[in-house]
Amino acid sequence: MTRLYKNIFILTGAGISAESGLSTFRSENGLWNNHRVEDVATIEAYYRNQDFVHQFYNDMRPELFAAKPNPAHLAITKLQKEYPADNISVVTQNVDTLHEKAGNNNVYHIHGQINQIVCMHCGHVFETWGDITSEDSCPKCGTTAMLKPNIVFFGESLLYMDVVDRLLSKCDLFISVGTSGVIYPAAGFVQIAKAYGADTFEFNMETTSNNYLFDKHIYGPAGTTLPQFVDELIKAAK
C-alpha cells in the first residue's frame, strides 16, 4: 500500500461487536433476541404496546453497557490517532457504544443508539442507560408516553444519511468490517465509494453477497486482521 489516503470511510456491522461477546441480535430466522422483529422493531409495535417495546430495550441495555471494545475497535482509534489522513470516519450499523468506549472519533450510528431516547412529540434526544416506560415524560417538553428508543425501526429513515453521502463522495479508502453485505442501503455504500474512485477493503469471517465490489478481501477475526492492516497502513505512510 503506497497510496496515501486522505479520507477514510469505515463501515462496521454486527461482526465487529460479536468479538466483544455481543450477539448479532437478528438471526437468520428473523428473530431479534428471541422476539419477532414485528413486535419490537416497528413503529406499529411501539404504538400498539409501548411498555412491551420499552421492556425489550430495557433488558438489552445492561449487556451493551457492560460490553468492552475489542482489538478491532482499538485499531480504529490507533488509525485515527496515527495515520496522517484529513478525515477518518466510522459509520456503524450497530446500536452499541463500543466505538465510543474504544475512543473512536467521528462515529455515526445510522441505526441509532441503545443509550439514546427520542421524544416523538418534540424530537428531543437524550442519553440514558436506565429503564424507560410509557409513564416517563420528555425532559424538554414534558410530554408523557411519547418517548421512544432512538433505534431506527423498520420502515423509518436511517440517521445521518446526509453526512454519509458527503463522506462517501470524498473517501479514497473504504473499509468494511463485519457487515453482511445484505442490508441496504448500507450494503450499497461500497458501490458508491468505488464509483468515486476509492480503494475498497472488506474484513469478514466469510464471503459476503457484495464481495465482488471490494478490491481486497481479508478473512478472519477482525480483532486479529484489522490491527495488522492498520499497522501496515501506518507504516506505509511514514
Active-site residues: which are they? 111
* Integer CA distances (angstroms), 35 to 5, 41, 51, 53, in order: 43, 9, 15, 10
How far is the C-alpha of 75 from the C-alpha of 55, rounded, in Å? 34
Q: What are phi and psi of 19, to 5 degrees?
A: -75, -5
Q: What is the DSSP string of 152-192?
A: --BTSPPTTHHHHHHHHHH-SEEEEES--S-STTGGGHHHH
Burial of 238 (0-12, 13-18, 19+ CB in 10 A): exposed
